[in-house]
């Protein structure tokens, strides 16, 4: 059984989908912690419900950048996780974390990367851009986190049709269903490819 840590900033539906799969025995992993930069977010409630330790680390809790980075690394050192899973974490990771866990940090993005990725492309902004570009399909991408935002190696994608009467909200809802189905499977397959058990 391999160990994961999760980072989230929002409602935490992807986080919950992963934890549920662990609970059902589909994903043989242990979730050791949740790091959030938003102490009141939905992901925190899910973590508390499942008895997962929560660490609120942000510019508010650690205004000094060196202390902020040290706090992040302290959590990684304490639990020695195999993979770090970003589930709607809305902040770029400090370089020290990428160096601590090279090719071991995964993220899910709500578009078919490399399209509609990078700075400014998050949440509803992604779906608005997809509709504005008159794309016929969209969908989630799971990728490794690299120094360049949304540019790491793509591990998996699922295509979702863009319908003529779609709004950013209806498209987001359809993509999110596929995110929940794709992320845990990709984590499982990637862990297997690394020989993690």
Q: β-strand 141-144 against 105-109: which pairing, if any?
A: antiparallel
Q: β-strand 137-138 against 160-161: which pairing, if any?
A: antiparallel
Percent of the chain with pLDDT over 70: 100
**Angle (CA) 97 29 48, round 5°:** 80
What average pLDDT does the segment 17-42 reach? 97
pLDDT tops 80 at residue 63: yes
- pLDDT tens digits along 127-149: 999 999 999 999 999 999 999 99
For residue 65, give the H/E element and its range: helix 65-79
- pLDDT tens digits along 151-174: 999 999 999 999 999 999 999 999
What average pLDDT does the segment 36-65 reach? 96
Q: What is the DSSP string of 134-194?
A: T-SEE--EEEE--SSTT-SPEEEE--EEPPTT--HHHHHHHHHHHHHHHHHHHHHHHHHHT
Angstrom distance (rounded) from CA 166 to CA 31: 36
- pLDDT tens digits along 80-115: 999 999 999 999 999 999 999 999 999 999 999 999
User: Could you give the 3-state DSSP secondary structure of residue 132?
Assistant: helix
Residue 190 pLDDT level (bands cut at 50, 70, 90): very high
> Annotated catalytic, 109?
yes
Q: In this predicted structure, what is the pLDDT of residue 98? A: 97
What average pLDDT does the segment 24-44 reach? 96
Q: In this predicted structure, what is the pLDDT of residue 196? A: 94
What average pLDDT does the segment 69-78 reach? 97
Q: In this predicted structure, what is the pLDDT of residue 197? A: 76
Cβ contact 42:12 at 8 Å: yes
Question: Which of the residues 45, 56, 109, 180 is marked catalytic?
Answer: 109
- List the CATH code of the domain at 2-108+140-158+180-193: 3.40.50.170
């Amino acid at each position: 059984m391999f160990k994961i840590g999760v980072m989230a900033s929002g409602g935490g539906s992807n986080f919950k989908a992963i934890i549920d799969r662990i609970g059902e025995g589909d994903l043989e992993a242990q979730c050791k912690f949740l790091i959030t930069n938003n102490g009141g977010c939905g992901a925190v409630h899910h973590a508390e419900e499942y008895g997962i330790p929560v660490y609120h680390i942000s510019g508010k809790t650690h205004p000094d950048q060196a202390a902020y980075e040290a706090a992040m690394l302290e959590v990684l050192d304490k639990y020695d996780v195999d993979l770090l899973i970003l589930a709607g974490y809305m902040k770029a990771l400090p370089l020290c974390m990428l160096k601590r866990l090279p090719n071991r940090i995964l993220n899910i993005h709500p578009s078919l990367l490399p399209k509609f990725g990078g700075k400014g492309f998050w949440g509803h902004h992604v779906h608005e851009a997809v509709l504005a570009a008159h794309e016929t399909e969209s969908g989630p991408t799971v990728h490794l986190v690299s120094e360049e935002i949304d540019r790491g190696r793509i591990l998996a994608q699922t295509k979702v049709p863009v319908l003529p009467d779609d709004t950013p909200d209806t498209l987001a809802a359809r993509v999110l269903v596929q995110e929940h189905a794709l992320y845990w499977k990709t984590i499982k397959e990637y862990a297997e490819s690394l020989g993690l058990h």
